[in-house]
Amino acid sequence: MQQKFKRNFDELKNIVTMTESVFCELGLQPELRNVVDLATEELFVNMVTYNTETKEDILIEMLPHAFGLEVRLTDYDVERFDPTSAGSVNVDAPLDERTPGGLGLYLVIKMVDSIHYEYRNRQSKITFIVDRKQPDV
């Protein structure tokens, strides 16, 4: 399934609706939902927030992968930004040293099974996989 979304946080509810449909259609384990939702939101929000030079919609594709899901987000007519090289966050820092920024991409990289970035013809494509290691028994 694939769908394009406006560059607006209000689209998050429509992305959730798409994800619900895909999970239902593919019969995926509900336990995977939170990681898929989190990674998709964080990457979408990152594109909307930082790729401000384009007005193009963002394409999201969701495909079956083994016992889980492969999700691709493509942003058009943008500069290169590789979220997989985002700086790390010190999650052990005390409260007075913690700031809200940077946590989203850190969580994505920690929680998905794999993530890949590709930049070609001014298109940024981020692909991540959330999987279970074995099927239902």
Partner 1 sequence: MFEIVLQDDGIVAVEGRLDAAQAVKAQTFLDQVEGQCVLDLGKLEYVSSAGLGVLLKTHKRLMGAGSGIKLINVSNHIHDIFRYSGFDKLFEIVPAGH
* Interface residues toward partner 1, by CB under 8 A: 9-10, 12-13, 16, 31, 34, 37-38, 41-42, 45, 90-93, 95-96, 98-101, 103-104, 107, 110-111
Q: CB nearer to partner 1: give 13 or 133.
A: 13
Q: CB nearer to partner 1: give 31 or 136.
A: 31
Beta strands of 16-100 (E only): which ranges?
Answer: 58-65, 68-76
**Distance (Å, rounded) from C-alpha 110 to C-alpha 90?**
13
Q: CB nearer to partner 1: give 35 or 78.
A: 35
Element housing 5 (H / E): strand 2-5
Pick from 38, 37, 28, 40: nearest CA to 64: 28
Both tokens assigned to 54? 């384009």
Q: Please state the closest distance from residue 45 (CB atom) to partner 1, in A.
A: 5
Q: Please state the closest distance from residue 7 (CB atom) to partner 1, in A.
A: 12
